[in-house]
Amino acid sequence: MPPMNSISEMFKEYSFRPRKSAGQNFLADAKILDRIEEVIQCPPEDILLEVGGGYGALTERLVKKGLPLIVVEPDHKLFAMLEKKFGSNPKVSLVKADILKLDIGSKAPPLPGKITLAGNIPYYLTTPLITRLLTQYNGSVRKIYLMIQKEVADRMAANPGTKAYGALTLCAQYYSRVTKLIDVPAKSFRPRPKVDSAFIEIELKETFRLSGEAEKNFFKLVRSIFQSRRKMLSNSLKSLGKPADQVEAALKKLSIDPQIRGEKLDIDEMMELAQALEQP
């Protein structure tokens, strides 16, 4: 890990002070950065897009991959640091923007190329950014590599019946395949956050089992189950407004015990149940 004063001196040069309100915690452990560089896989036809370039620690390693690299950073002082470091590199495009307002799809290369996205993002961005990428950009983004809260990483990769398993799990697993790659302790960051983190890989799926109303009904079912996760499944499903005999018939058809808790069902069972509940 580089000494604290080296980062401090850089920030002092630009009169930059990390803002807690903006979730600015910077990864400063060189060994973990090296491991991240190793695990990020990007085919030669793709472009790399880094979310939150910060002071350029991850950017330096992404540049080594030799692919076109777009770095998005909203903070003007951090952006100035990136300009000084990478402004003369013809393969690096620096974009001063809020990633939640940026049209990411417009940055994609011609097919079969896609975007491979990576970043160490503020924790408050985790759910809105991942949800936006999964639901809006599955045609232009291939993989997402992100540093997120360890608790959220555990939820995204959770198994049925566990405490971490929930609506976020089902959303992530419906649209993608999630793998937790590296556990990263809080001490690896400057300033140090209150929680540990994890670096994850999200591989977006190209096709989905459901579409249209069937997809909407699946996510309605997911919400009904996890809004009342301590209830028996038959009680959780009441919020869907279906006739009791229709619910009973659907559960019987799929041989699902109405007295189990809904969070015991895996994603395939939930999709099947959502479809069965629509049948008269």
In this structure, the answer to whether residues 21 and 75 fall within a common structural domain is yes
The reply to whether 71 and 96 lie within a common domain is yes
Do 272 and 168 share a structural domain? Answer: no
Which candidate, 13, 159, 18, places its Cα nearest to that of 81?
13
Q: For 239-253, how does the pLDDT look when each residue is reduced to its tens digit (9 = 90+)?
A: 999 999 999 999 999
Contact 246, 273 (CB under 8 A): no
On the question of pLDDT at 107 being above 60, the answer is yes
In sign, the C-alpha dihedral spanning 179, 32, 40, 116 is positive
Select from 204, 228, 253 the last residue of a domain: 204
Helix (H) or strand (E) holding 150: helix 150-156
Tokens matching residue 177: 């395949």
116 and 220 both lie in a single domain: no
Residues 51 and 182 in one domain: yes
Q: Are residues 179 and 254 in the same domain?
A: no
- Binning pLDDT at 50, 70 and 90, where does residue 198 land? very high
pLDDT in tens, 174-194: 999 999 999 999 999 988 899
Q: What is the pLDDT of residue 7?
A: 65
Please give the single-letter amino acid code of residue 63: V
Total domains, the chain = 2
What pTM does this model have?
Answer: 0.89
Place of tokens 């580089």: 2
Among residues 204, 225, 243, which one ends one of the domains?
204
Contact 181, 38 (CB under 8 A): no
pLDDT score at 190: 84
- Classify residue 3 by burial, with Cβ atoms within 10 Å: 0-12, 13-18, 19+: exposed
CATH code of residue 270: 1.10.8.100
Task: Please state the φ and ψ torsions of residue 182, each to the nearest 5 degrees.
Answer: -140, 125
Of the pLDDT bands very low, low, confident and very high (cuts 50, 70, 90), residue 22 is low
Q: Are residues 195 and 258 in the same domain?
A: no
Both 249 and 140 in one domain: the answer is: no
Strands 115-120 and 92-95: unpaired
Indicate whether 189 and 222 sit together in one domain.
Answer: no
- Specify the residue for token string 């495009």: 93
**Separation between Cα atoms, residue 51 and residue 69, nearest integer Å:** 11
Task: Report whether pLDDT(5) > 50.
Answer: no
* β-strands 26-27, 189-190 pairing: antiparallel
Domain span including residue 151? 4-204
189, 10, 7, 8: which is closest to 84 by C-alpha? Answer: 10
In this structure, the answer to whether residues 182 and 250 fall within a common structural domain is: no
Contact (CB, 8 A) for 115 and 104: yes
Helix (H, G, I), strand (E, B) or coil at 268: helix
Residues 76-104 have pLDDT tens digits of 999 999 999 999 999 999 999 999 999 99
Residues in the chain: 280
- Statement to judge: residues 127 and 252 lie in one domain: no
**Residue 79 and residue 39 in one domain:** yes
